[in-house]
Amino acid sequence: MQTLPLSRKLLLLSGSLFASFMVCQASYKAIGQHIDKDGTLREAFFLIPTSALLLLGSTVTLAGAAVVGLKTGP
């Protein structure tokens, strides 16, 4: 069985992190927010920082794949 090079693995990881980011964003929009009768705001706030961390992770791994790809060549 052939193993993938590191840059390809990082690209796959970056893509999966970005897909997870998109799922978090879509879930936040689908769940929505509302205000109860007593004035309490109800929203899925945990999805906001989670999606930000996923986007950051995707960006970092994409940059890492670029650096590894430049060092090893085509």
Domain hosting residue 21, numbered range: 14-28+44-74
First to last CA, the chain: 21
pLDDT at 23: 97
DSSP-derived 3-state class of residue 39:
coil
Residue 3 within any structural domain of the chain? no
| Alpha-carbon span 22 to 39, nearest angstrom | 30
pTM (predicted TM-score): 0.85
pLDDT tens digits, 44-70: 999 999 999 999 999 999 999 999 888
Share of the chain above pLDDT 90, in %: 74
CA atoms within 13 A on the CB side of 1: 2
As for how many domains the chain has, the answer is 1
Which residues touch 17 (CB under 8 Å, ≥6 apart)? 54, 55, 57, 58, 61
- The one-letter amino acid code at 57 reads G
pLDDT score, position 73: 67
